Amino acid sequence: MSKIVYFSMQAFRHIRRNTVVAGVTVGTVAIVFLLLCVLALVGYNLDRLGERLKAGLYLVVYLEDEATEQEIQEIKSTLESSEVVGSIRFIDKKQALEIFKKRLGAQATLLNEVGPDTLPSSLEVKLSSSEHSTKSIEALAQKLVSHPGIEQVQYGQAWLGRFFNFMDFSRLIALLIGALLVFATLMIVSNTIRLSVYARTDEIHILKLVGATDNFVKAPFYIEGVVLGGLGALLGIGGAWLLFILARPLVTIPLGPGSGDLNLEFLPISSVAISAAGGAVVGMFGTLASLGRHLRI
């Protein structure tokens, strides 16, 4: 325990001696982790948006005007046999017009001269779970397209496919940017420790002459790297939290009629803890890289 206290005191003494360098290092690491947290925030809320969209996803099977009762029953039987389907609701022409007017809101007067025969009857199919992939929904839709009595099957396939492709591409870009930022942080901490090693060259030689072990000499540098990295990460997370507080009242994502809006949420506490610990780990590895190159003992 006494060694840990001694090593910690030495590390903080080094930081006090090089206040400017340590301050610049902490500030730079804070900016890096601020950017990382912003990327994580965007990704986290995009994932929430994707889950909400999948939870509200449903098929609309538009029926032909000439569809017979037997064909409609066969379509229902096909749907009920699928594990993707949760519930089925038949919407006749009159109900379809009323729903359309409700969704138009104040502009519903535009449909005053429109008769109920304008819109087709349909089956609104809600999914049994949001865990079903878009591929399983697409397979069901393809199965229904050629069924007698069906005019068209829609489930937002065009925009939904583009949205999830965009999410996959965004994740890849975020990972690449995150990796570059983490590498930059490693280099920053490594250079700071290198300067600290140069400043203490005479002291290190004296310690070695009186019998200090390699680990005894290196330990304060590791603590210094962990402190700088951890402190920078905490400041970066704090900055991301302030930006979130400012942006949250201004940013809402509309999900369409009847679905409400999606409000931004901050990262879960587990992600925050991992980010803070990540700063300390990056500081430790930055120190390891620096000592390996510049402290040959």
Q: H or E segment at 122?
A: strand 122-127
Q: What's the confidence (pLDDT) of residue 158?
A: 61
Radius of gyration of the chain (CA): 30
What mean pLDDT comes out for the span 85-101? 78
Contact 157, 92 (CB under 8 A): no
| Residues 166-216 pLDDT 10s | 878 888 888 898 888 888 888 888 887 777 777 777 777 777 677 777 777
pLDDT at 90 over 80: yes
Q: Show Cβ contacts of residue 151 under 8 Å, excluding neighbours closer than 6 positions.
A: 62, 63, 64, 120
Distance CA 190, CA 288 (A): 8
Q: What's the confidence (pLDDT) of residue 105?
A: 64
Bridge partners of residue 123, in order along the sequence: 61, 90
Structure tokens that stand for 240 in this block = 């991301």
| Residues 241-292 pLDDT 10s | 999 998 888 777 655 544 556 678 888 898 889 888 888 888 888 888 777 6
In 156-209 the beta strands, taken as DSSP E runs, fall at none
Q: H or E segment at 87?
A: strand 85-91
Q: What's the confidence (pLDDT) of residue 114?
A: 63
Distance CA 229, CA 222 (A): 11
Q: What's the confidence (pLDDT) of residue 192?
A: 78
Q: What's the confidence (pLDDT) of residue 111?
A: 57
The pLDDT confidence band at residue 85, using thresholds 50, 70 and 90, is: confident
Distance CA 197, CA 88 (A): 71
Identify the residue with better confidence: 10 or 260. Answer: 10
| Residues 99-108 pLDDT 10s | 666 766 666 5
Structure tokens that stand for 122 in this block = 């349909």
Task: Identify residue 279 by its one-letter amino acid code.
Answer: G
- What does the DSSP 8-state code read for residue 295? -
Identify the structural domains of the chain with CATH numbers, from first to last: 2-53+161-294 (no CATH), 58-154 (3.30.70.3040)
Q: Show Cβ contacts of residue 281 under 8 Å, excluding neighbours closer than 6 positions.
A: 229
Structure tokens that stand for 264 in this block = 């931004």
| Residues 147-158 pLDDT 10s | 888 888 877 666
Pairing relation of β-strands 122-127 and 58-63? antiparallel
pLDDT at 91 over 80: yes
Structure tokens that stand for 40 in this block = 């994580």
Cα three-residue angle 220-3-7, rounded to 5 degrees: 20
Distance CA 181, CA 33 (A): 8
